[in-house]
Amino acid sequence: MAALRAFIERHPRLMVLTGAGVSTGCGIPDYRDASGAWKRSPPVRHQAFMASPATRQRYWARSLIGFRAIQQARPGPAHRALAALEARGRVTALVTQNVDGLHQRAGSRRVIDLHGRAEIVRCMGCGAQRMRHDLHAELAGANPHWLSLEAKVGPDGDADLDGLDFSTFRVPACPRCGDGIWKPDVVFFGDSVPRARVAAAFAALEAADALLVVGSSLMVQSGYRFARQAARAGQPIACINRGRTRADDLYALKVDAPVDATLTDLLAPG
């Protein structure tokens, strides 16, 4: 903790990069274990979702059950601590790989949602947007017998409903264009982060004194590239994360400890 406090004192303009470990204490599971390996099957890929009606039926059926975890989640100690650091002028930008919106709900204002926001859905045909809870209400009305199912919740609002027949699950098309595909306004695996969002994150990194990684294994290139860029630019990097990360050889400081307790202690006097 002394080394972490000293790092922040030496680098008062931090860009913070957060991952799933910030939200696991809020009831939203993560994808990877302490070694960086998958805990479960990888999530649906963008290409499969767009190409296969059966894949979309499976996705939305599981989401109808699993998304409750994100809807019910509340900001945890790590979210509140990072918002407090921003309020003290220590965080100039917060780039998150999470799609749960909990940083904003905790009070952070300088947030770049790298992978989008899960509570919004977008028509891939005409670009129409709606709130996800509105689509879920329509899904529930069209598939009422699915509401009684219970399953283990997975990351990003998924649920383990494997082994069921999804062929009768009804997924509505976009009413504005008639046949558009509804997709969460998030970056699926196999898709690319919008260029403007990436550019904004790199600009925020360039303006910062240092990078602080919190709760991310950085196994995905979309997050790892910021650690690589900071290292190339000679910007110091600190990390708070349990277990191995892809950028372990790039850090000036690594704190292998729970993020909630570490960030809470960091704000304590002394």
Selecting among 46, 115, 133, 136, the annotated active-site residue is 115
Give the chain's count of helices (H) and strands (E): 10, 9
What is the Cα–Cα distance from 151 to 140, expressed in whole angstroms? 16
End-to-end Cα spacing for the chain: 10
- Four-residue CA torsion sign, 177, 63, 220, 224: positive
CA distances from 127 to 149, 182, 191 (A): 32, 9, 17
What is the Cα–Cα distance from 90 to 106, expressed in whole angstroms? 16
* 7: nearest Cα among 75, 85, 77, 83: 85
What is the Cα–Cα distance from 139 to 144, expressed in whole angstroms? 8
Q: What is the DSSP letter of 128?
A: -
Strand, coil or helix: 195: helix
Sheet holding 182-186, edge to edge: 129-131, 116-123, 182-186
Q: How far is CA 75 from the centre of its chain?
A: 13
Active site includes 115? yes
Q: Are the C-beta atoms of 224 and 247 separated by less than 8 Å? A: yes
Which residues have a catalytic role annotated? Answer: 115
